[in-house]
Amino acid sequence: MPQGFTRRAIGALLTATALLLIWRVSSYDVASLAPSSSNNQIAKSGGNPRRIAKVSMLYGNPNPLYERALQSHERHANRWGYPMYVLQEDISEGFWNKPSYVLSLVIQELAKPAAKRSEWLMWVDADSIIINPAIPADIFLPPSDLSEIHFVASKDQNGLNTGIVFFHVHPWTVSMLVETLGHPLYLPEIDLGRSADQEAMARIMKKTTGGPEGQGYAAGMAYLPRPWINTYEWHHAYEGEKGNMLVHFPGLEDDRWPHMANWLDIVEKTPLEWEVPLKESGYDELTREFWAKFRAARDLANSVQEDIWLLPTGTSTSLRQAAVNNVRLALQQHADEPELLQQQVDELKAAVKEESSGR
């Protein structure tokens, strides 16, 4: 690991720790942490019932395509009243700027009175473009009764993709991001690969021990079907359909530029071509059904778990316990696969019936 990265990462962690301590002992709005339109971030605001802010980064050599892509997000943010923050200075090393910047914003928001802070931060990579601005970002967030969910993302064939992610403004997120940033320092022997920050976060998100409550982070996340929030452009075609919110260009290397230019021309010259009203897009019904099934599976697993704890010692519960564990694992890692989740729910119901009948 380069010594420069180690020194800068340690410095970032120390700074984050200091900010966290300030937040822990203060319930006042800290003026010096307030968003601004200074040369390292852009802030815009408006009406925003779920209090979401959009976040990205763009620094280094000028790139007109990235600038135009982020302008599409700015237009979307303005339409729905979301503040937007764009990191424009290098504050860490490479991809580690992303979790470092998000951490700073989460702490900044937590330093405000609850009524004034953002509830969620939506990270968007600069190689993503809004093509249907009629879709509000908050349609994808978990309902308020699913308060244990602090991280909403999607995955592809390589696992977690952090190109489009929702972070809950919550102490849980502070802890998760600090552990993500600390991963290469405390476990330097692990090769995190090319997208080191993404792999580190994926590893932290699978933990079932440690964390703020000793239960890790796995139960605090949910995967949405990726095409809903993170629709890819492949080398040969767009995987989505008219009505999808955005297009993202991961893994295209130099082929990314002509693809981005084509989509930017479309949204800038004929902005209504891919715009579909929310009610006609299907998102409203799909997201409502998704979270309803998520809630039902969670409640069933919790109910059976409580029943197991109350049963007399010596009662056969091994089938039920294993099935409860499988449902919870499906919620944590496979909520975006409805057939698999339903299979685990059905197996739990069967286990309850079998052991309750004494067979």
Structure tokens at 264: 């930017």
Bridge partners for 153 per DSSP: 223
pLDDT at site 164: 98
Structure tokens at 260: 């981005």
Contact 155, 161 (CB under 8 A): yes
Closest CA to 103 of 48, 55, 153: 55
pLDDT at site 139: 96
Give, in words, the CATH class of 52-277: alpha beta
Domain boundaries, the chain: 52-277, 286-358
Closest CA to 323 of 353, 340, 339, 344: 344
Long-range contacts of 259-267 (CB under 8 A, 24+ apart): 259/233, 260/65, 260/69, 260/127, 260/129, 261/65, 263/129, 263/131, 263/233, 264/65, 264/68, 264/69, 264/72, 264/129, 266/131, 267/72, 267/129, 267/130, 267/131
> Where does residue 227 rank: exposed (0-12), middle (13-18), buried (19+ CB within 10 A)?
middle
Bridge partners for 166 per DSSP: 122, 152
Which stretches does DSSP call E strand in 8-64? 52-57
Which stretches does DSSP call E strand in the chain? 52-57, 84-87, 120-124, 128-130, 151-156, 159-168, 221-223, 246-248
Closest CA to 161 of 153, 173, 172, 169: 153
Phi, psi of 232 (to 5 degrees): -90, 150
pLDDT in tens, the chain (359 residues): 444 445 455 555 545 554 543 343 333 232 222 333 333 444 443 455 669 999 999 999 999 999 999 999 999 999 999 999 999 999 888 889 999 999 999 999 999 999 999 999 999 999 999 999 999 999 999 999 999 999 999 999 999 999 999 999 999 999 999 999 999 888 888 888 888 999 999 999 999 999 888 999 999 999 999 999 999 999 999 999 999 999 999 999 999 999 999 999 999 999 999 999 999 999 999 999 999 999 999 999 999 999 999 999 889 999 999 999 999 999 999 999 999 999 999 999 999 999 988 65
pLDDT at site 348: 97
pLDDT at site 43: 41
Contact 181, 100 (CB under 8 A): yes
Contact 156, 232 (CB under 8 A): yes
pTM of the predicted structure, to 2 decimals: 0.87
Residue 22 parent element (H or E): helix 3-25
